[in-house]
Amino acid sequence: MPIIAPSVLAADFANLQRDVEMLNQSQADWLHIDIMDGVFVPNISFGMPVLASLQRHAQKPLDVHLMIVQPERYLEEFKKLGAEYLTVHQEACTHLHRTLQQIKQLGMKAGVALNPHTPVQVLEDILQDIDLVCLMSVNPGFGGQKFITQTYQKVQKLKAMREDIGAKTLIEIDGGVNMDNAKLLIEAGADVLVAGNFVFSSPNPAQMIAELKAL
């Protein structure tokens, strides 16, 4: 069964407690939290005070996706804010291996996100050190974008790399996930599906989560 991680970016920020409680009651496995700095990506989402409030209500693991430059400056802070998985972008980290070690030393699971243009092979030599690879299936920065179909091949390549090495890395897909692509993604090897607009633009978000979970 896939791990389902609804993206809080698509929630109603004026009713965050309501939406988080809906997620608590739903079949969602994790809460996906998008942090954007307006520099690494052309958008700003929300920051630490919002995450602190979210953490007080969330009863599921927080999967924090940092779309920020120099993420190494904030690792400890995100640990304090309750991140279970902390994902940094490969494109934002000059010393990615060091940053991953630091995330793990702080007691979190270490994730690496790849933009659509970044080949999965860039992670070949450190895959055994990565708990989760987040393949971006849209250009990061905004919810509600169209899924990039090249992602299927990236999932297959990453899955083959994982098998070669014998790593246990989870493969997560982020961006444009919906009922048209979710099953194909799972068949290609995806373990975790992030879904923002597909879940929250529905009149019955919990039902959408249940449908993804049942794939």
| Binding site residues, Zn ion, CB under 5 A | 34, 65, 174
Q: Quick check: helix, strand or coil at residue 114? A: strand
Asked whether 185 and 173 are in contact (CB, 8 A), the reply is yes
174: annotated active-site residue: yes
Say whether residue 82 binds ligand DX5 (CB under 6 A): no
Beta carbon of residue 30, minimum distance to Zn ion (angstroms, whole number): 11
- Bridge partners (DSSP) of residue 144 are none
Closest to ligand DX5 by CB, 8 or 75: 8
- Within residues 56-75, the interface with ligand DX5 by CB under 6 A covers 65
Asked whether 24 and 58 are in contact (CB, 8 A), the reply is yes
Helix 205-213 crosses helix 16-25 at what angle (to 10 degrees)? 40
Closest to ligand DX5 by CB, 167 or 209: 209
Asked whether 200 and 6 are in contact (CB, 8 A), the reply is yes
Closest to Zn ion by CB, 123 or 135: 135
Beta carbon of residue 163, minimum distance to ligand DX5 (angstroms, whole number): 27
Tell me which DSSP letter residue 44 carries.
Answer: B
Return the residue of 194, 208, 209, 212 that touches ligand DX5, per CB under 6 A.
Answer: 194
Q: Could you give the count of Cα atoms lying within 13 Å of 73 in the half-sphere of its Cβ?
A: 6
- Which position among 34, 37, 131, 191 bears the catalytic label? 34
In whole angstroms, what is the distance from residue 173 CA to residue 136 CA? 6
Say whether residue 6 binds ligand DX5 (CB under 6 A): no
Cα angle: 21, vertex 174, 194; to 5 degrees = 25
125: annotated active-site residue: no
- Which position among 19, 37, 63, 174 bears the catalytic label? 174
Say whether residue 154 binds ligand DX5 (CB under 6 A): no
Residues with a catalytic annotation lie at: 34, 174
By CB under 6 A, name the binding residues for ligand DX5. Answer: 7, 9-10, 32, 34, 65, 138, 140-145, 174-177, 194-198
